[in-house]
Amino acid sequence: MELLLKGKLENVFKAKDYKDKTSGEVTPGKYQAQFFEQVEGDEGTQIVVHKISLPEEKANQLKNKVGEIISLPVKAFVNKGKLGYYGI
């Protein structure tokens, strides 16, 4: 199943590389799209940051769309009880 995430694209960036402390193996950082969401609650408005992992080719297509409202095809997953998304 594919979902569409619609919102204002705030940033597209490449995350830092990850180095395993035990083996020394380096995993290249992934490209990510960043969206902000305003959530209303009893204590006021909170801004929640959503970072969506992207394939490099999709990240390159989105770099010139920062500041625009976009629809991004994503798939969902659950990790440690939290819902997350990744771009496809």
pTM (two decimals)? 0.76
- What does the mean pLDDT of the chain come to? 90
**Which region holds residue 80: left if phi is over 0, alpha if psi is between -120 and 50, else beta?**
left
Amino acid at 45: T
By percentage, how much of the chain surpasses pLDDT 90? 55
Burial of 33 by CB count in 10 Å (0-12 exposed, 13-18 middle, 19+ buried)?
buried
Q: What is the mean pLDDT of residues 77-87?
A: 89
Separation in Å, CA 45 to CA 37, 48, 67: 10, 10, 21
- Give phi and psi for 63, each to the nearest 5: -55, -35
Q: Is the pLDDT of residue 50 over 90?
A: no
How far apart CA 52 and CA 2 sit, in angstroms, is: 14
DSSP 2: -
